[in-house]
Amino acid sequence: MDPLSKPISRRDVLRGAAAGGFALGGVMAFGADLAAAKVHAQRLKIAGARDVPSICPYCAVGCGTLISVKKDEATGRDRIINIEGNPDSPISEGNLCPKGAASLQLAVNPLRSTKVKYRAPGATEWEEKPLDWAMERIAQLVKETRDRTFTETYATKDKDGNPVQKQVNHTLAIGSLGGATMDNEWNYVQLKLMRALGVVFLENQARI
């Protein structure tokens, strides 16, 4: 397509303005239109960045996002500097819900905990443990608990009162509570794993 015949979007205009470097004058040109000034300030932040279209990972609505990426001078690697709604998405037309609008923090978050707090049975103090230690301990406890409590069949009665065995293949001793920042793919795999283990108590923080 001839680039000159491509329709110019509001995003193109603002990106061009930001790249052109007019800052204060540009903002003042918006006059009392605070919303437009905010949009302009946002574009200054992403000036010179490369936009990568993507999909919000959080739910089945599948809103379109634009991930702005810039080369980090120190490491030479691409760095995500902003995520916002993609106006070209036929699903969401540039809109994101509050959770999707904060998805930058899923990818870039210096405050994220990388260690776990552990309080031993009967202890009153929390200890800091590495993540690998916690994963190993959880895996061992799940295995032990499942082996001890797995039920293949249970005895009940049919409608005529005759004793019957029902096949259940489950454990009622383990539950899975997912966090709200688990994405679609993680939730899918988590559900598969739990069902395979016979876990029936499945819930997610996003529904609570």
Q: For the chain, how far is it from start to end, CA to CA, in angstroms?
A: 49
63 binds ligand SF4 (CB under 6 A): yes
CB of 180 to ligand SF4, least distance (A): 10
CB of 98 to ligand SF4, least distance (A): 8
Q: Using CB under 6 A, which of 14, 26, 100, 187 touches ligand SF4?
A: 100
Interface mask (CB under 6 A) for ligand SF4, residues 149-188, using x and -? Answer: ----------------------------------------
97 binds ligand SF4 (CB under 6 A): yes
**Toward ligand SF4, which CB reaches closer, 26 or 100?**
100
What is the DSSP code string of 132-176?
A: HHHHHHHHHHHHHHHHHH-EEEEEEE-TTS-EEEEEEEEEEEEEE
62 binds ligand SF4 (CB under 6 A): yes
Which region holds residue 93: left if phi is over 0, alpha if psi is between -120 and 50, else beta?
A: left
49 binds ligand SF4 (CB under 6 A): no
CA dihedral 190, 207, 200, 134 (to 10 degrees): 50
**Toward ligand SF4, which CB reaches closer, 65 or 171?**
65
Whole-angstrom Cα distance, residue 36 to residue 147?
A: 61
User: Are 86 and 73 in contact, with CB atoms under 8 Å apart?
Assistant: no
81 binds ligand SF4 (CB under 6 A): no
What is the DSSP code string of 13-70?
A: HHHHHHHHT--HHHHHHTTT-HHHHHHHHHHHHTTTPEEEEEE-SSSTT--EEEEEEE
64 binds ligand SF4 (CB under 6 A): no
Contact range with ligand SF4 by CB under 6 A, out of 2-10, 33-41, 55-63, 104-112 = 55-63
CB of 6 to ligand SF4, least distance (A): 27
16 binds ligand SF4 (CB under 6 A): no
61 binds ligand SF4 (CB under 6 A): yes
For residue 120, give every residue at least 6 positions away whose Cβ sits within 8 Å of its Cβ, in sequence order, or none.
Answer: 127
Interacting residue ranges for ligand SF4, rule: CB under 6 A: 56, 58-59, 61-63, 96-97, 99-100
